[in-house]
Structure 1
Amino acid sequence: MNAALTPPKLFVRTVPLRDRADGLVRRLPEGAPLAWLTGDEGIVGWGEAARFDPEPSPEGTPPTDITRFTTAARRFTELLEHAEVEDEVGLPGTGPVAFGTFAFAPTSGGSALIVPRVIVGRREGRSWLTTITDAPGDHPRELLWPVTEPRPVGPVDWRPGSLTDTAWMDTVASTVARIRSGELDKAVLARDAHAEAHSPIDVRVLLERLRTRFPGCFTFSVAGMVGATPELLLRLEGDEFTSLVLAGTRPRGVDEEDDHRLGREMMSSAKDVEEHGLAVDSLRAAMEPLTEELTVPAWPHLLKLANVQHLATRAHARMSPGVGALEAVAALHPTAAVGGTPTETAMRLIAEVEGMDRGGYAGPVGWVDGAGNAEWGIALRGAHVEGSRARLYAGCGIVAGSDPASELAETESKFRVMREALTDPET
C-alpha cells in the first residue's frame, strides 16, 4: 500500500472449513507466518496481498505522536473501499484482515500493517478459510506453499544485551532517585538479550511452544515480532470494548502455599498497588473520551500465568459511534504499564537511559478486520526474530519503592518465556 498509489483492487472470499483438532500452527507453511492465537483458537495467515510500513517520525517528534496509527488506519480503509468481499462465515476475524505491529516509539522503525493472501481461523468450534486475490475466482498461489513439520531450533548461543546486569540496576537506582525527587511518578525500564541459533529459526516451533505453555495468553507473530503476551490492549466486537490492564508482578511459588503467599504479598504491597493504579488511571484517561459506559473495577484481581502472577484489572465499555480500532490503539499507547507517568516525561527518560531502541517491544500488536472487529495486545514476553537471531526483551515498572535487585529478578522471570521457547527439549 504505497502512499502515492491507488490501493489495489482485492477480491476477498471467506468459506467454512471442516473443523480440525490438529491446531492452526500446523496449517502454516514456513517463512514469515502471521499469527494471533489463544489456546486452540485464533487466526493465522501467510503471503502478502497488501502491506503498509509506516515511516519512522523524525527525531524530536513528541513521543506520543500518533501519525503512524492514523496513516495506517487510512490506508486500510482505502483498501477496504476497493475490495469486493464474500463472507460466508461472518465472525470476528473473517473477511479482510490486517495483522499489525507498531514500534514502541514513533521515531523507531519496524511498524507494519499486513493483509495476507491466505488466512485460516478458528473460533468456538468453527473454522474458516479466507483467500485474498487480485482477480475474482483466482486461487492464491500461497495456498500451494508446502506445509512441513516445524524444525527444532538446535543449539543456541546466548549473549547479554545493551547493558550489563550491574549497569541496568544502576539505571534503575538513578530512576528511583528521579522519581523520589518529583520528576515523574513511574517509568517502565526494559533490557534486552541476544540469542543466535546455528541455522534460521523456524518461527512455527516457537508459536507452538508458546501457545501450548501459555494457553491464556495471546501468542503472536507479525513482521518478526514473536511472543506470548498476557496484556490485552483492546478487544472490539461490534461496539463492545474490553481491555485487560496488568501491572505488578511476582513469580509463581514453589508450591501452592508459597504461591498464595506471593499473591497475597503483592495484593497488599503499596509499591505494586501504586504501580497498578497508575496503569489503570492511564487507561481511564485515554478511553473516557472515546467510549460510553466505561466500567473499571475499583480493585485488581490476581492473574496467574505459568511463570508469573500479575495484578490485573479488566475494563469494559461501549465505543462511541465512529471510533475505530486503530484510533483506540493510538489513544491507549503507550499505557503507563509499558511507558510510565507522566507519559511524555517517562518516554523521554526511557530514550535517555535504556541504551537501546525497543523496536516493536512494548508496542501494540494484533489484528483488525474489515467489519471493525479487532484484538490488539502489547508486545511483551517476546523477541524480534530475524533469520538465526533473536533479540529478547523484558521490562518492569519502576516507582519510588522499587528495589534494583528485585526488578532485575523480575526481568529474568519474564525473559524465561522466550528463553524456554528457544530451547529444544532434551531427547
Structure 2
Amino acid sequence: GRPVRVDLEADAGDYLHHVASLVRDIRAGLLQKAVISRVVPVPEEIDFPASFAAGRRANSPTRSFLLSMGGLRAFGFSPETVVEVDPERRVASQPLAGTRALTGDTELDRKLREDLLADPKELHEHAISVKVAVDELAGPCEPETVAVTEFMTVKERGTVQHLASKVVGRMPEGAGPWQAFAAVFPAVTASGVPKPAAYEAISRYESQARGPYAGAVMKVTQDGTMDAALVLRSAYACNGRTWLRAGAGVVEQSRAERELEETREKLMSVSRSLVGRADRTAEPADDTGAAEGRPRPPR
C-alpha cells in the first residue's frame, strides 16, 4: 500500500515548554516523575488492517491489538503488560521506563544500550517506577510473596530499547484479577510518581484528553486469568480524525530536548508503517480485536 507521511515535529515547541515547566515543578517538590505526551495528527485516513499488518512485521511488542468499537478504531504494539494474573492467583507486572533508540545498526545499538544502562537519569526514572509497582502489588498480594524477578534488563521494542523489570506476587484465596488490576492501573510507567500529583501535572501540560492512550486492552477469562496490555505505540481514529501519541517520563534530571527526541523514537515505531486508504471498504467489519493470538478487548 501507499505509505502515509506524518510530521513528527507537530507540537514540538509546546512539548519542549511543557517538559521544562514540569521539571521546575519536580524541583519545587510537587512530584518525582510524570509522563507527559504529545499528539501528532495523521493527515489522511489510513487502512487500519494493512497498517497493523505492516507494523506487526516491523515491531517486537509484548502484545498487539487491532480494534474497532464504539466509533473508535485503533491498533498498537504494546511494549508492556500492566498486569497478568493466572488461575493460581499469581500476579505479574512489567514496568518499562528508560529509553534509547533501536536503529538496526548492531554496534550503534550496543553503544546506546550501554549508555542507557549507565545514565543516572534513566536509572532513577526506572527505579522509582519499580518501587511503585512493588508497593502497589503488596496491596492485593500477600506481601511476603511480592518480589522483583527481573531488574533492569533491556527489552527491544520496535524502534526503541527500554529498561525493563518484572514484579510478581500471589493473591490470597478468594481474591480476583480485578483487585490486581485496580491496584496497578493507571500504570505508573504512563502516569508518574506519586500518581495523584502526576495526574494533576498531566492535566496541566497535555493539550488534549488521553482517550485510549495509556489505557489497557485486555483478555479476561472465567478461570480468573487476566492479561492487560498497556495502550502505547498506537494509532487512533475517531470522529474523522486520525492521530498518533507518545510520551516520555520526566524526572528532575530530564532535558527537554532529549524527552522530545524520545517521543520521536517512540512515534516512529508506528509512523513508519502507516498505509493509506485506497477506498472505504478497508474498515474492520466488527468490534473484535485481532492480534496473532494475543488479547482481544472485552466485548
Cα drift, residue 305 of structure 1:
2.5
Mapped partners of 2:64, 2:95: distance in 1 = 17
Query: Are 2:158 and 2:269, in contact at CA under 8 Å, matched by a contact in 1?
Result: no
1:227 aligns with 2:76: yes
Which residue of structure 2 lines up, in the alignment, with residue 352 of structure 1?
Answer: 204
1:296-354 deviation line (CA, Å, top 9, x unaligned): 14731111223111000012222222332233222111232111111101101110111
Which residue of structure 2 lines up, in the alignment, with residue 180 of structure 1?
Answer: 27
- List gaps (5 residues or longer) in structure 2: 277-299
TM-score by length of 1: 0.59
Letter in 2 for 1:337: T
Cα drift, residue 400 of structure 1:
0.6
Structure having the higher helix fraction is: 2
Query: Are 1:279 and 1:335, in contact at CA under 8 Å, matched by a contact in 2?
Result: no
1:165 aligns with 2:12: yes
Higher Cα Rg, which structure: 1
Residue 287 of structure 1: which of 130, 133, 137 is its match?
A: 137
Letter in 2 for 1:282: V
Residue 250 of structure 1: which of 84, 95, 100 is its match?
A: 100
Q: Note the 1:171-210 alignment, pairs <5 A.
A: 171-197=18-44, 201-210=46-55
1:311 aligns with 2:163: yes
Q: Note the 1:6-405 alignment, pairs <5 A.
A: 152=1, 154=2, 156=4, 158=6, 164-197=11-44, 201-222=46-67, 223=69, 224-238=73-87, 239-253=89-103, 255-292=105-142, 293-297=145-149, 299-386=151-238, 389-405=241-257
SS in 2 for 1:402: coil
Which residue of structure 2 lines up, in the alignment, with residue 407 of structure 1?
Answer: 259
Query: Are 1:253 and 1:262, in contact at CA under 8 Å, matched by a contact in 2?
Result: no
Structure having the higher strand fraction is: 1
SS in 2 for 1:372: coil
Cα drift, residue 159 of structure 1:
6.3
Mapped partners of 1:404, 1:213: distance in 2 = 28
Cα drift, residue 269 of structure 1:
1.2
Query: Are 2:61 and 2:77, in contact at CA under 8 Å, matched by a contact in 1?
Result: no
Cα drift, residue 281 of structure 1:
1.3
Cα drift, residue 369 of structure 1:
1.4
Mapped partners of 1:403, 1:295: distance in 2 = 32
Aligned length: 269
Letter in 1 for 2:203: A
Query: Are 1:226 and 1:385, in contact at CA under 8 Å, matched by a contact in 2?
Result: no
1:102-124 deviation line (CA, Å, top 9, x unaligned): xxxxxxxxxxxxxxxxxxxxxxx
Cα drift, residue 157 of structure 1:
6.6
1:198-217 deviation line (CA, Å, top 9, x unaligned): 5xx44222332232222443
Question: Structure 1 residues 240 and 394 mapped into 2: Cα distance closer, same or farther (>3 Å)?
Answer: same
Mapped partners of 1:244, 1:270: distance in 2 = 21
Letter in 1 for 2:169: A
Letter in 2 for 1:377: A
TM-score by length of 2: 0.83
Cα drift, residue 254 of structure 1:
5.7
Which residue of structure 1 lines up, in the alignment, with residue 279 of structure 2?
Answer: none
Letter in 1 for 2:75: V
Cα drift, residue 388 of structure 1:
6.2
Mapped partners of 1:306, 1:203: distance in 2 = 18
Query: Are 1:324 and 1:372, in contact at CA under 8 Å, matched by a contact in 2?
Result: yes
Mapped partners of 2:55, 2:108: distance in 1 = 25
Cα drift, residue 226 of structure 1:
1.7
Mapped partners of 2:180, 2:150: distance in 1 = 22
- List gaps (5 residues or longer) in structure 1: 1-151
Cα drift, residue 196 of structure 1:
3.8
Question: Structure 1 residues 416 and 158 mapped into 2: Cα distance closer, same or farther (>3 Å)?
Answer: closer
Letter in 2 for 1:242: A
Letter in 2 for 1:422: L
Query: Are 2:94 and 2:167, in contact at CA under 8 Å, matched by a contact in 1?
Result: yes
